[in-house]
Amino acid sequence: MTDVKEVVRILGGDSYAKKAVELLIKYCDEGYIPSHELDFEMMLLLEYYRLALPINSLNASLSWDARITTSDKFEIPYIIRFFFKKLKDDGEANIDDVVVEYFKRIGEKDPEDFVEILKEVIPHSKNCIVNGEAIVKASTKRNRDGGVVIAELKGAGLISPYISRGKFKNLSSPLYEINRFVFELMDVST
């Protein structure tokens, strides 16, 4: 279980980390952090951990790395909303339970599969970037359609298409970025 103190530590343990947690708890129900609450350093912290992201993007892309930082409000991904709502209500949250609860709420049968899929692909990632083939392979093992799983993970805010290939340009499969905050919380040692 993760409490507020642990989240602050994960985010750097400073006053910005503490303020970020306060903002996420305050606005998790609304799903947006208003611009008047954000300064440049806070935007950087929220964006880096994929806790909240600018609304505007290049070419209407869904990719997190195509988001354009402006003075507009920041959107909180659904899985982060669920996590901070649980933290607000119970004083602690477990990312595995939050993922299961999210997929249960959207009507998924066997929502635990999504935790297992994430835990299987995380060790195959590099700097939170994973090859789409790894997600499809983990999905197929659980008799799930890889394309549907990818779409649902994207909708939850657990992954995003990764378009800044750079050092990954020699990979042919689509690449996805795992939400960095979720990545930090998920225990893959089990």
pLDDT single digits (tens) 22-61: 999 999 999 999 999 999 999 999 999 999 998 755 555 5
What is the C-alpha end-to-end distance of the chain, expressed in Å? 15
Domains 2-95 and 109-185 share a fold: yes
106-131 pLDDT per residue, tens: 999 999 999 999 999 999 999 999 99
Rounded distance between C-alpha atoms, residue 16 and residue 93, angstroms: 21
How far apart are alpha carbons 7 and 54 in whole angstroms?
21
Q: Which CATH number fits domain 109-185: 3.40.50.300, 1.10.10.10, 1.20.1090.10, 2.40.50.100?
A: 1.10.10.10
DSSP 12-73: TSSHHHHHHHHHHHHHTTTSEE-GGG--HHHHHHHHHTTSSEES-BGGG---GGGB---SS-
**57-103 per-position pLDDT tens digit:** 555 555 555 455 565 789 999 999 999 999 999 999 999 999 999 99
